[in-house]
Amino acid sequence: MSRSGPRAVRAAVAVGSAAVLLAACGGGGQQDAASGGDWKPTKPIEYVAPAGTGGGWDTLARTTARVLDESNLVDRPLRVVNKPGAGGAIGWSYVAKHQKDPHKLFVTSPPILLVPLAGASGQTYEDFTPIARLNSEPLAYVVKANSPYKTFGDLAKKLKASPKDVSVAGGSGPGSLDHVGLAGAVQAAGADASKVKYVPFDGGGEALTSLLGGHADAAVAGASEVQPLVRSGDLRVLAVSSKERSPILPETPSLTETGVDYAFDIWRGVMAPKDLSESQIAYYEKAYAEMVKQDSWKKASEKLGWTDAFMGSKEFGTFLDEQNKEYSEVLTSVGLKK
């Protein structure tokens, strides 16, 4: 979206006039921002997706950037930049070098907690500013349609009795998203999570292909990833990891319904560099709060299988603290916390 032309010139003149008046009164733009006054971006916003194109983070970044821009909720365009590698750590490291820069944002999800806990990142979530949590999606525990496991209880019983005889494929590395979602559920069901034979793949698609090819006995992946294969009759879902049933897999029981006291959400949100001012945080927080109300966002979310789970900056920060503690306990139980 172009920001040049007569309107931009008039805006620049107005800003300049305001600066002169503030200076005459002994004030200044930096003091105003520090005291919680209005702030707006002055140049395009670099929007980091810490993964390659086509994945979950990339989809989130491009979808939110489009809706924010088309709905005129931001004063400058968000330009998506992909920085893949190390489970997200390459992208986080880049953002961390731009402390106090309000023109940098990045999309995030559980790996921002899990990867550092496993000792695979030089930064933790505390090195960044939480802006907003946007949505969530449960994991789905699936088997082939002809599998002898009819319920999650059947699978848990086998894992408890002879864990070495069952392999479970997942789309993330040891200690990351899918592994923790599996380990927590298995542990809550009474099995020893550290003995589960978890087979990692680079993405949920590869994990499900392995399952369909008979190279794994079960798999864990995002509900939206398994939905097409469930509809086609190739896979059967044993349970979803949310406390309630998923709207995109309405016939599948939640873990809670099966008697397993565990829940795991693939939440997604937005963070920024450390030490942004209150007015800078408020600007972005308001933009995303308005974004989730837009029809275009609701339609995209429905198509992608995302459930609204908005939280503002402070609430999101508290949520991250709680999640970090929970994930730490699970990783410790499977011997993966560094």
Cα 293 to the chain's mean position, in Å? 19
**What does the pLDDT read at residue 64?**
98
Any domain includes 83: yes
> Given phi > 0 = left and psi -120 to 50 = alpha, else beta, which region is 174?
beta
Residue 97 sits in the same domain as residue 184: no
Is residue 33's pLDDT more than 90? no
- Burial class of residue 57, CB neighbours in 10 A (0-12, 13-18, 19+): buried
The mean per-residue pLDDT over the stretch 304-324 comes to: 95
Residue 296 sits in the same domain as residue 207: no
Any domain includes 118: yes
Is residue 20's pLDDT more than 50? no
- Burial class of residue 24, CB neighbours in 10 A (0-12, 13-18, 19+): exposed
Residue 329 sits in the same domain as residue 304: yes
Is residue 118's pLDDT more than 60? yes
Domain that holds residue 297: 42-137+266-333
* Strand pairing report for 45-49 and 104-108: parallel
Range in 11-20, 73-82, 253-262, 315-324 the model is least confident about: 11-20
**What does the pLDDT read at residue 29?**
39
**What does the pLDDT read at residue 211?**
97
Q: How long, in residues, is the chain?
A: 338
Any domain includes 245: no
Is residue 247's pLDDT more than 50? yes
The residue among 166 and 56 whose pLDDT is bigger is 166
- What the block records as the tokens of 298 is 């609701």
The residue among 300 and 12 whose pLDDT is bigger is 300
273 φ, ψ to 5°?
A: -60, 165
Q: Rounded to an integer, what distance in angstroms lies between the CA atom of residue 244 and that of residue 234? A: 24
CATH code (residue 278): 3.40.190.150
